[in-house]
Amino acid sequence: MNFFFHLLQLLVFFLCFKQRLCFSATQAMVLPLKTETGLNSQPSNKISFHHNVTLTVELTVGSPPQAVTMVLDTGSELPWLNCKKKTQTLTSVFNPLSSSSYSRIPCISPICQKQTRDLPNPVVCDEEKLCDVFVSYADGSSLEGNLASDTFRIGSLNKPGTLFGCMGLGSSSNPQEDAKTTGLMGMNRGSLSFVTQLGLSKFSYCISGRDSSGVLILGEGNHSWVGNMAYTPLVQMSTPLPSYDRFAYTVKLEGIKVGNKILALEKSILVPDHSGAGQTMVDSGTQFTFLLGPVYTALKNEFLVQTKGVLVPLGDPNFVFQGAMDSCFRVPANQGKLPPLPAVSLMLNGAEMVVGGELLLYRVPGMVKGGDWVYCMTFGNSDLLGIAAFVIGNHHQQNLWMEYDLAKSRLGFVETRCDSAGQRLGLDP
């Protein structure tokens, strides 16, 4: 990160201290959560979330408060809310006209001139001379609106003046899923992210694989009972490159192992090239894990070799699940459970993320071949999506306690029963 970003962080922490607007380890949430006696001597901020394709957090915004549901996304920056008028299909919206604390940001504001991932450069103004915001995603969806501010309430904490995008135009690739959420909570390291605006030095979450629940902790917390974490450094790059996201949670991928065999990969393909393409990002807003084409092909081929006689390939070269996953298999519907499979290990700098068992395959909803279900490997080809990066999605983060330690610039994780973790932290079972 460059000097100006560090200066911004210091300014944010100073304002937090003076105005008592940011999280600290001594604050507790006023959401339907509680801390069990003896677990944390200094209760931290805990939020429950749910997930199917996305992880969602419930909070309130505006004056008087409006309940909103936001997608937890460590892969993006600017928080945004859907400010469209209510329709029959989209009822989860934020109404800025009903909030007395809502404020639109004009183009002449210094914050609008700031160069970030989600604010265009040069500045684009709408017809009312308001700061324009445009975000787009790899699936082809996009949103457009105005930069605004309002009071965000997370439990007992009020955070006036939180910047966000108030989105009213755009297209979506999944309108049914969007109807369940009001917006997106950008959690990367950018200057406009929720993490930076709240002055967080650490946050963590745990996603249950048994149901749709999980726990999110904002702040330090004390969760030593989860076991010893493995840590990998977050990669820093201050020089802007066209294909590199400097504010993502980037780690160093050093290799991939299938069973006990390490894939024969050129080391150069696992590191960013001269344009920045090839970084490895940890992204809670993406469901599956995606690998650059040559690496995906090597993994696919070795997985086929090691599962020969165990899994029956689909045999349809034209079928590609979600546009990027073409390693698919037939599993008898009456089989009950998947056969034993070789684990796939992502070998990171100082840590190893092991993906095994049912997390390796995903059943394609509604697709049946004869009397067989269709399952696809949960690793996809980044090239088919037009993503010039490795992306570790939330499916492979299930039942791992994931800790984002910004103060020490590292990512930690340890295998945990996340349903039990939620109960230990006072969540309803």
Give domain limits for the chain: 3-224, 235-408
Catalytic residue among 73, 150, 178, 245: 73
Instruction: Record the pTM.
Output: 0.86
User: Which amino acid is present at 295?
Assistant: V
Distance, CA of 365 to chain centre: 23
The answer to whether residue 63 scores a pLDDT higher than 90 is yes
Mean pLDDT, residues 48-65 taken together: 76
The answer to whether residue 88 scores a pLDDT higher than 60 is no
Kindly give the pairing relationship between strand 157-171 and strand 80-82: parallel
**How is 341-405 classified by DSSP, letter by letter?**
---EEEEETTEEEEE-GGGGEEEEEEEEETTEEEEEESEEEHHHHT--EEEE-GGGGBTEEEEEE
Q: Assign a CATH topology to domain 3-224.
A: Cathepsin D, subunit A; domain 1 (2.40.70)
The answer to whether residue 130 scores a pLDDT higher than 70 is yes
Backbone dihedral region for residue 219 (phi beyond 0: left; psi -120 to 50: alpha; all else: beta): left
Distance CA 15, CA 294 (A): 47
- Check if 73 is active-site: yes
Two domains, one topology: 3-224 and 235-408: yes
Nearest to 73 by CA among 41, 103, 49, 43: 49
CATH match of 235-408 with 3.20.20.60: no
- Which position has the token pair 């801390």? 35
Task: Kindly state the DSSP code that residue 78 receives in the 8-state scheme.
Answer: S
- Check if 283 is active-site: yes
Position 9 scores a pLDDT of 40
208 and 262 Cβ atoms separated by less than 8 Å: no
Quick: pLDDT tens for 206-245.
888 766 678 888 887 666 677 889 999 999 888 889 999 9
Return the exposure string of 213-249: e unless at least 16 CB atoms fall within 10 Å of the residue's CB, then b: bbbbbbbbbebeebeebbbbbbbeeeeeeeebbbbbb
376 and 384 Cβ atoms separated by less than 8 Å: no
Mean pLDDT, residues 154-176 taken together: 75
In 106-254, which residue ranges form alpha helices assigned H by DSSP? 110-113, 175-178, 194-197
Range scoring the smallest mean pLDDT among 67-81, 136-150, 239-253:
136-150
Distance, CA of 149 to chain centre: 23
Distance CA 120, CA 348 (A): 34
Catalytic residue among 150, 283, 326, 419: 283
Percent of the chain with pLDDT over 70: 77
Task: Kindly state the DSSP code that residue 86 receives in the 8-state scheme.
Answer: P
Distance, CA of 176 to chain centre: 20
**Confidence band (pLDDT; 50, 70, 90) for 340?**
very high
Nearest to 140 by CA among 181, 184, 171, 118: 171
Distance CA 300, CA 264 (A): 13
Residues 6+ apart with CB under 8 A from 46: 28, 29, 31, 33, 35, 215, 216, 217, 218, 221, 425, 426, 427
Chain mean pLDDT for the chain: 81
Decide: residue 268, CB within 10 A, 0-12 exposed, 13-18 middle, 19+ buried.
Answer: exposed
Adjacent-strand bridge partners of 78: none
Nearest to 414 by CA among 220, 209, 231: 231
Backbone dihedral region for residue 170 (phi beyond 0: left; psi -120 to 50: alpha; all else: beta): left
The answer to whether residue 66 scores a pLDDT higher than 60 is yes
- Which position has the token pair 């009001």? 182
Mean pLDDT, residues 48-60 taken together: 69
Range scoring the smallest mean pLDDT among 39-48, 348-357, 400-409, 415-424:
39-48
Distance CA 209, CA 296 (A): 24
What HEC string does 97-138 produce?
HHCCCCEECECCCHHHHCCCCCCCCCCCECCCCEEEEEEECC
